[in-house]
């Protein structure tokens, strides 16, 4: 027997799943998140939120909450940790990096989703599903079966949903592992500092930095690959520190210990019928450049309104498939840039020479800007067909008569920004807002924004606008 009926079940309540749940709730979709863990992760990984993700938080009214819990840092020095400041005049009102513990982000996003009406169940692992013409039956580890119209696998790199779907996950397996943890050190601070600065010259994958009174965060590469299901021990850290630094610095009293690999893989398809994949379930890569969580949150914002449109019945025929068409190439590009960054960290003479050359090239503003826009995801341009350069790009948080643009996007609806003040959204007004503002700082007469903030149309002709409203928002209401 099926105990309930939902529109969408999300497997996995990490950052991607929580963000997607909130996006779906903006459109009144009945959504259930199933998270297998009962408690948040014990390790406190500090992640970097890059510009586009910070913008998305502003677009959904979450900026204040996120800023309160994070630490702003300069936006530069993220590509392969090459120490160059960000170029001047980055086109964003939020041109910084926000360092924030991952469990804090997950909690904030989950609270946000619940406030909007999402149901979240912890301690519920998805172990199976079957799809048919009308929906998906999802099976939990305790045998309970739930029914929904769609299922989204946001269940991380080892995604059960992806494996059960039989979607191929080609790429490179993990070849190197890194231990990461926090612990106290018996050695004097000066001795540690001297050794660390000496080692940073030769091994960029090693770091040992203060993380509170008497506590250090240790990141140390290991030789070879182990069984990652087994948690690392303090002795593993000591051994690896001795191998890399010649001393274990008297490491003791660990707060938490973890390990991660450098597998690089991309799901071949993001959708099979009524089942979709997002976040790490769809793509994995090494953490260099800090892009994984950002990519997953951005997947969620791309998918949310499209899946909602499908559920609510107004989605144009191919809208849901644009999720794969738009996001798969973005992940492909991120995987490639992490491959390149990993090469640039190598201590071999060849890669070190390439690193020196790239460091020189980054003195050219255009090169620095290009890499910056890649890492921060503000350079993304989806392919919406021929048109001006702005078409398919995200619009920054520009000033309007009515306040900041992003303040008007909290509800996740489309928006027509109309500088002519003579166009109308007509029968689409239940899905798209209209804002007349001749003062808008725009290099175009009017733009139509999708709920994810990307420019879907530019022009000043009502008939052309109607065609594009139909393309993205379906048939007008009567």
Ligand X SMILES: Cc1cc2nc3c(=O)[nH]c(=O)nc-3n(C[C@H](O)[C@H](O)[C@H](O)COP(=O)(O)OP(=O)(O)OC[C@H]3O[C@@H](n4cnc5c(N)ncnc54)[C@H](O)[C@@H]3O)c2cc1C
Footprint on this chain of ligand X (rule: CB under 6 A): 11-17, 34-37, 45, 47-48, 102, 125-126, 154-156, 160, 180, 260, 279-280, 287, 290-294, 296
| 15: number of Cβ within 10 Å | 26
Pick the closer one to ligand X by CB: 180 or 319.
180
Smallest distance, ligand X to C-beta of residue 412, A: 19
Pick the closer one to ligand X by CB: 125 or 340.
125
Smallest distance, ligand X to C-beta of residue 468, A: 32
Smallest distance, ligand X to C-beta of residue 125, A: 4
Smallest distance, ligand X to C-beta of residue 197, A: 22
Smallest distance, ligand X to C-beta of residue 454, A: 20
Smallest distance, ligand X to C-beta of residue 77, A: 13
| CA–CA gap between residue 63 and residue 409 (Å, rounded) | 13
Smallest distance, ligand X to C-beta of residue 240, A: 15
Closest by CA position to 454, among listed 438, 467, 439, 468: 468
Pick the closer one to ligand X by CB: 107 or 238.
107
Pick the closer one to ligand X by CB: 162 or 454.
162
Pick the closer one to ligand X by CB: 285 or 431.
285
Pick the closer one to ligand X by CB: 180 or 185.
180
Smallest distance, ligand X to C-beta of residue 396, A: 21
Pick the closer one to ligand X by CB: 205 or 454.
205
Smallest distance, ligand X to C-beta of residue 284, A: 8
Pick the closer one to ligand X by CB: 85 or 123.
123
Smallest distance, ligand X to C-beta of residue 280, A: 4
| CA–CA gap between residue 308 and residue 430 (Å, rounded) | 14
Pick the closer one to ligand X by CB: 255 or 434.
255
- Contact yes or no for 266/335 (Cβ under 8 A): yes
Pick the closer one to ligand X by CB: 182 or 418.
182
């Amino acid at each position: 027997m099926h105990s309930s009926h939902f529109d969408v079940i999300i497997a996995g309540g990490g950052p991607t799943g929580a963000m997607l749940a909130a996006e779906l709730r903006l459109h009144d979709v009945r959504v259930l998140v199933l998270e297998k863990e009962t408690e948040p992760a014990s390790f406190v990984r500090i992640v970097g939120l890059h510009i586009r993700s910070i913008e998305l938080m502003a677009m959904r009214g979450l900026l204040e909450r996120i800023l309160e819990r994070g630490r702003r840092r300069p936006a530069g020095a993220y590509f392969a940790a090459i120490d160059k400041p960000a170029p001047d005049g980055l086109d964003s009102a939020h041109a910084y990096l926000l360092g924030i513990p991952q469990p804090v982000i997950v909690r904030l996003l989950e609270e946000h989703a619940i406030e909007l009406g999402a149901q979240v169940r912890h301690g519920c692992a998805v172990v199976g599903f079957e799809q048919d013409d009308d929906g998906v039956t999802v099976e939990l580890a305790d045998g309970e079966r739930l029914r929904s119209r769609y299922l989204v696998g946001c269940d991380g790199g080892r995604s059960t949903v992806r494996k059960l779907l039989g979607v191929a996950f080609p790429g490179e397996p993990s070849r190197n592992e890194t231990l990461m943890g926090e612990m106290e050190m018996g050695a004097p601070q000066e001795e540690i500092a001297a050794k660390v600065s000496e080692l940073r010259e030769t091994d960029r994958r090693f770091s040992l930095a203060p993380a509170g009174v008497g506590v250090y965060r240790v990141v140390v590469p290991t030789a070879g690959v182990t069984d990652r299901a087994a948690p690392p021990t303090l002795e593993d850290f000591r051994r690896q520190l001795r191998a890399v630094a010649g001393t274990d610095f008297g490491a003791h009293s660990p707060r938490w210990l973890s390990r991660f690999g450098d597998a690089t893989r991309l799901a071949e398809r993001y959708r099979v019928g009524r089942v979709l994949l997002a976040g790490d379930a769809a793509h994995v890569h090494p953490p260099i450049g800090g892009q994984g969580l950002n990519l997953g949150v951005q997947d969620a914002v791309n998918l949310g309104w499209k899946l909602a449109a499908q559920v609510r019945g107004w989605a144009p025929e191919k809208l849901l498939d644009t999720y794969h068409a738009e996001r798969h190439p973005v992940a492909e590009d991120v995987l490639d840039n992490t491959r390149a960054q990993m090469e640039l960290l190598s201590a071999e003479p060849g890669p070190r020479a390439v690193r020196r050359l790239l460091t020189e090239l980054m003195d050219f503003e255009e090169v620095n800007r290009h890499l910056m826009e890649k890492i921060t995801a503000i350079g993304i341009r989806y392919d919406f067909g021929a048109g001006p350069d702005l078409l398919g790009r995200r619009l920054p948080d520009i000033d309007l008569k009515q306040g900041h643009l992003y303040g008007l996007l909290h509800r996740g609806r489309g928006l027509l920004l109309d500088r002519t003040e003579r166009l109308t959204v007509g029968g689409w007004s239940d899905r798209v807002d209209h804002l007349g503002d001749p003062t808008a700082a725009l290099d175009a007469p009017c733009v139509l924004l999708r709920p994810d903030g990307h420019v879907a149309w530019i022009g000043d002709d009502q008939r052309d606008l109607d065609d594009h409203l139909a393309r993205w928002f379906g048939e007008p209401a009567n």
